[in-house]
Structure 1
Amino acid sequence: MPTDNHINGFRKPIAYQVGGVYGGVFLYIGIIMPFWALWLAKVGMTPGEISFLIGFPSFLKVMSSPFIAQLCDKWGMVRRPMLALMAIAALSFCGYFVFSSFWAYAVVTIIFAAAFTGFLPLLESFAVRAADRYDLQYGRLRAVGSIVFVLTSVAFGYYLDYFGYDHFLYFCLGALVTTFFAVVLLPKEQKPKVTATEEEDADHEPALRFLLTSREFIMFLVVLSLIQMSHGLVYVMGSLHWERQGINNQTIGLLWSLGVVAEIVVFIFCGSFIRRFRPMYVLATIGVLGAVRWGVLAMTASVPLLALAQTMHGLTYGAAHLVAMYYLSSRVPDRYFTTAQSLYSSVPLGLAQGSVMLLAGPLYARFEGQGYYVMAFFCLSVLFIARFVRRVAKDGSESN
């Protein structure tokens, strides 16, 4: 797997090709994440329906991503599956143009999300392996997506304030089509080299069994899950809550983009610094700062304070994501990497976060902004669990 010096430069044509795919993906996410809930509300969806349409797709990661990833590990390729999944995503998204009821939207969302959520871990796997093979810096490849997210969310916020939501779906579909053609431009990957011993082991131990019988890996997923669960309320109801506090679309877009600017700084400049510390120490620190972030969002609608809290997204998501990538790249055999990446995507970013996103609508309807205190509780829980995870990791290393 990639060594540390590989996972943090941006040169060679492959860098622009991979960066182009990240750009297409985050062009779509930069439209959807800040404004999808607002669009759904404008077409008549209730808070409970909005939380279902946004949160339920995360559960599909648990079923679709590991299954797709195991096939890709077996085949030794991800580019062709990426093409197929993005084509399905773009075609299924067209259903939003045709239907208007909640249940029809639910069916379209399930089909779309099964493809799109299966696509994302394959992109991460391709990027990490490209960073290894071509001596690139993963953090800078990933930062391209974050930069596009910032530009898109800010620009689209201005657009919506002036022109409204009439062409909202067309922009989303255009971003998906752009991503498809960016994947077309990717080079065909070579199968990773596997030693004779690894081939023998692989024949007797499937990827999921190897990973899900590792106590350290399971507990690492638990800690990451708590951190990602804490983002559930802001992802679903953040924009709607701010709008109800009198904040306009331009400022909402800026608040989202501030968080991603901080994320970009972490991706580009903080990778080598983060690697100096044990993963659990970094995640425990992230837990404390996350509790502060959600506490601020619960207590105030002051734009300056919200802006300060949003910059902590660089840590609660960006730093946590880098820790996850470094852990997977250093602890997981290459032949299992795509499956491990899919489990990271499907459990912390899927099942755990999706559970909170499903409950975000009812939680917000009952408590409004005070619901962020529940998110702070998730982050503080990391402090208690991280100590146990460190002990498990220590015991595992001693037994080896």
Structure 2
Amino acid sequence: MSNIHVYSEIGKLKKVLLHRPGNEIDGVIPQTMPRHLFDDIPWKKGAQREHDCFADILRKEGAEVVYIEDLFRKSFSQKGSREGFIKKFLDKHGIFNPHLREQLEAYLLCLSPEEMADKIMSGIKKSDLGPKKQEDFSRFFPEEEYEHYYTEPLANLYYTRDPGASIGRGMSFHCMEKLGRNLETVVWQHIFEHHPDFAKDAPMWLSNESHFGIEGGDIAVFSKDVIGIGCGLRTRPEAIEQLAGNILPQDTFKKILVFTIPKDRKFMHLDTVLTMIDHDKFTIHPGIEATLNVFEISLGGSGELVYKDQTDKVEKVLTKALNLDSVQVLRCADGSFIDSEREQWNDGTNTLAIAPGTVVTYSRNEVTNELLRRSGIKVLEMPCGELSRGRGGPRCMSMPLVREDI
């Protein structure tokens, strides 16, 4: 089996990519929380303990856990790969001041490859380099006093679902809205192109050099024939069109269902409002149903993309697309307005299926978890007091690399 093989949301999870929270989250302060997408200051040791529990659950259920930080540290074996990465990283960061750029390049290349990888993830502080060069005119124009970094800490790196996506036998890499998140895609794509486990024959469906935004939380592989993509706050229709044009002619997928979702942070991605948990079961946030429209993209007879507006309710659309007799849609917190609003805030719908009818969820979403159990779903709960401060659940924190076919 290939190093990337994902043809469903529910096939038994065999290999998964995670990131254990590290020094990068120590760079989140109240003044920078909005751009780091945190609603509170995370505590690293607590987040690490919770994340270790998450990884242990996955291992006990038979999944091989690999960490992006380990892959990144081992991705610089090729001659010139460090220099090439630094150029792409600084370009994506928008650092074009020649004096500062020279200092940053020299600093990073003085480190070992492993140290350089760690510094890229945690962020380069101004104190790491010392004062700017005397010939650098920008030294006369200091930034805000709370700006202590030259390069952004990759504080959201533990949400491995978004910078890239495993789809079928290949990967897509994404143009993301926030700078810190966009820098993560440079790390991901570098690993894909240079680490020996991936630099082989797996296709790249999208490059992070695209100008149109798309994020992995909006992408769901429902079956070997059907992909679902959310179009809302973080994913643009032009990016969906690009992905469809690349993947439909080259893999088993026959259609893409595009779900329009409101441009609101509480509906950030498709997987915050709709996830597949069994052959015929989905979780959904009830607050989304009234505004959820679905379009279908498929290939025409001459290979052109064909678009169709699906006017049925989401249950009927999913039933037809997956060739089922019916589907059961389980509403977050059993449809209770107050409970669903509370549990949606902490990703009650963001379940990670690790086998058909077996999911990992946050323990704090008690009403939704009980509903899942009553509906025949095996629920494996994980702690989340610190991890949830970044507004993402178990699916957000994982990128399946290999799943068994169903």
Q: Which has the higher contact order (CA 8 A, sep 6+)?
A: 1
The structure where helix makes up a greater share of residues is 1
**TM over 0.5, shorter chain:** no
Q: Which has the larger radius of gyration?
A: 2
TM-score normalised by the shorter chain: which range applies?
under 0.3
